[in-house]
Amino acid sequence: MEALIDWLVTTFPPLSEGLARFIVYVLYSAILAFVAPVIIVVAYTYMERKVLARIQDRIGPNRAGPLGIFQGFADAIKMLTKEDVTPVCADRVVFNLAPILATIAAILVFAVLPVAPGVIGADLQAGILYVVAVGALSEVAALMAGWSSRNKFALLGAYRAVAQLIAYEIPIVLAILVVVMVAGSMQMSAIVAAQDVPFVLVLPVAFLIFLVASIAEIGRSPFDLLEAESEIVAGFHTEYSGMKFAFFFIGEYMHLFASAGIATTLFLGGWRGPFAGPDSWLGVLLGFIYFVIKTTAVIWVMMWVRGTLFRIRIDHLLDFAWKFLVPLGLILVVTVAVALKLPVIGTSGLRWVALLVANVVTALLMMLSVSILARRSRSAALREVAGVE
């Protein structure tokens, strides 16, 4: 970005630095807001359908164009020409604002995503905090949609959405906390720069917490209780049709890509890879390709999980967040904090080993305590049954 601004200023002398910066910002915003959603939604809905179809032993879309690659465009045209049905008793203003807000919230996360070396919209000092703050806007959109529809299914979906999203917000923040501690900064570019070793190798437990909690955060199966078809029709967007539904859909896929991108940035080294760097155009392009490959890999894992696991119950869902992920996150923060301050840890090599050991020990201890607790509650339940009989 900065290099592009400098190039503009030197090549077209009448341009002032501020004006050049403004032009670059407008261009990059337009790409993020208009081009990226189309590409991401079309590409990843196609990928999701194909992956799920293969997991379920089907072929998937194969009619629209070669191998069905135009399926996404066909759906877009269908959505665009559908009649829009608004229930008479809905709160019209909030009802119409909700899909707009859902899309805005998903696009705004992209502002701090370092997609290639030096290519980042706003390299804020509190970048990761911005992600958490803006990501929470989508909860507001879900609540607005469910409440304003004045439909019992929708309202139930909205309540579930809020309960679920706030429960999984905390494990995400705790996992981020560990990364910030090791990287020493909340700035996205600094976090990428700190990853000489990708953090997934030294902080595997934090990565797992982040991955599971972000699947819940974007409301995908097995945590898709906010739109559980078998219980509450379609959850918070039951009453939406046509283009308004399409914008919830776009928001969901943008959020999916953004979450996977954040996971890539925090744990998989972002754009880093062999020969990628901010010095040449080729390096920047390579960095972008690495970023997309890593993000697609994370998304693929999410799709795999969706195709494999069944939807879990609301009480199990909240228990899993509050009674497993939050304590695990708290313990992980403490063990990592202690491990890095041990007196023997001086060199950087030992540091990574200490982190890995802290993670593995935390995971093992947590597994052990969960198995003990589960055995105890199981035998208590058995005793109860025996006592009743």
| Among 6, 78, 184, 282, interactor with other proteins by CB under 8 A | 184
- Does residue 298 interact with other proteins by CB under 8 A? no
- Does residue 357 interact with other proteins by CB under 8 A? no
CA angle 63, 81, 83 (to 5 degrees): 125
Which residue in 101, 97, 219, 103 sits closest to 149, CA to CA?
97
Residues 222-261 interacting with other proteins (rule: CB under 8 A):
233, 238-239, 242-244, 246-247
Query: CA-CA distance, 116 to 104, in Å (whole number)?
Result: 22
Residues 10-29 interacting with other proteins (rule: CB under 8 A):
21-22, 25-26, 28-29
Residues 310-339 interacting with other proteins (rule: CB under 8 A):
314-315, 318-319, 322-323, 326-327, 330, 333-334, 337-338
Q: Is the Cα dihedral 255, 238, 320, 329 positive or negative?
A: positive
Residues 132-151 interacting with other proteins (rule: CB under 8 A):
132, 147, 149-151
241 CB burial (10 A radius; 0-12, 13-18, 19+): middle
- Does residue 372 interact with other proteins by CB under 8 A? no
Residue 339 structure tokens: 């491990």
Residues 83-102 interacting with other proteins (rule: CB under 8 A):
83-89, 96, 99-100
- Does residue 186 interact with other proteins by CB under 8 A? yes
Query: CA-CA distance, 46 to 142, in Å (whole number)?
Result: 25
Q: Which is nearer to other proteins, 28 or 352 (CB)?
A: 28
Q: Which is nearer to other proteins, 205 or 276 (CB)?
A: 205
Please state the closest distance from residue 318 (CB atom) to other proteins, in A.
6
Residues 268-287 interacting with other proteins (rule: CB under 8 A):
none
Query: CA-CA distance, 128 to 181, in Å (whole number)?
Result: 12
Q: Which of these ranges, 59-67, 122-130, 219-227, 301-309, lies near other proteins under the rule CB under 8 A?
A: 122-130
- Does residue 42 interact with other proteins by CB under 8 A? no
| Among 20, 37, 203, 236, interactor with other proteins by CB under 8 A | 37
Residue recorded with tokens 């202690």: 338
DSSP three-state, residue 83: coil
Please state the closest distance from residue 271 (CB atom) to other proteins, in A.
19
Q: Which of these ranges, 66-74, 80-88, 261-269, 279-287, lies near other proteins under the rule CB under 8 A?
A: 80-88
CB 339 within 8 A of CB 309: no
- Tell me how crowded residue 381 is: count the other CB atoms within 10 A of its CB: 10
DSSP three-state, residue 116: strand
Please state the closest distance from residue 369 (CB atom) to other proteins, in A.
13
Q: Which is nearer to other proteins, 265 or 306 (CB)?
A: 265
Residue recorded with tokens 């939406």: 240
Q: Which is nearer to other proteins, 227 or 239 (CB)?
A: 239
Query: CA-CA distance, 124 to 107, in Å (whole number)?
Result: 16
Query: CA-CA distance, 307 to 322, in Å (whole number)?
Result: 25
Residue 295 structure tokens: 């993000």
Residue 157 structure tokens: 């979906």
Q: Which is nearer to other proteins, 301 or 311 (CB)?
A: 311
Which residue in 18, 24, 37 sits closest to 120, CA to CA?
24
| Among 59, 122, 297, 309, interactor with other proteins by CB under 8 A | 122
Query: CA-CA distance, 378 to 367, in Å (whole number)?
Result: 16
- Does residue 350 interact with other proteins by CB under 8 A? no
- Does residue 30 interact with other proteins by CB under 8 A? yes
Size of site (CB under 8 A) for other proteins: 86
Please state the closest distance from residue 234 (CB atom) to other proteins, in A.
9
